[in-house]
Structure 1
């Protein structure tokens, strides 16, 4: 088969196989990314690119590779829900960056977050006064959570690194 025709045929079929594998593997595969999800996504993209450009790799090999990556992700996420050690290995802990209007300088430095990023997150939530912010948390996917009002308990902050020091 001519290399360009191979790319067209294998590309279309590989793309369809990838869509099917992603749909079957569930929402977790397409959720907000942590480092583990990022690696999985890059691996799937690399497999697709190889399938499209290499005449040495068959459609069956590409489909098998897609399935292997999806199964590995399923196995690891399945295990991480049941094992705290595996969870810690693949997912970082959310980190407290601002608490009761006060910046957590050590955490900001460790996470390489500057004050301007925290202020931008606060403004994005429609808030104007840092003193009225109860907490800003750097989530495991790199997003900022801004909590404006304190409740009776800090239950939503459970597991956030740095809270116990406050």
Structure 2
């Protein structure tokens, strides 16, 4: 199985698009309001009936952006319009509650990236990049909506030992 994409529901799509472009280096591939059609067709991302089923709300509507990294990672950013998006309280984004709590991305040059994140004013969990056993080095910071993003720089020898043949 291959990983396909992550969806982040956001309170401010423009701010998240800017973050994923300027800090994370992703490019914007799609920006549209959904539903974008009534029937399934190759150019329809989400017809009305599907969106209403997914949201459990008549008249459901959202602003959506699809971002892609140079290596092919896909990030879906979604700002519900109907129903109005509700910001998740910061204390519900921590490890004490169930659900997906972080996005982890692998990069090279973690120290320079850490400095870039800090210089841009984003909060990090620690004042440093830390070693993760023999797997590599890592740090966690928060996106504009308070979601945790973990950055990894792998130790190549350790990564090879984790692969399943």
TM-score scaled by length of structure 2: 0.25
TM-score scaled by length of structure 1: 0.25
Q: Which of the two has higher C-alpha Rg?
A: 1
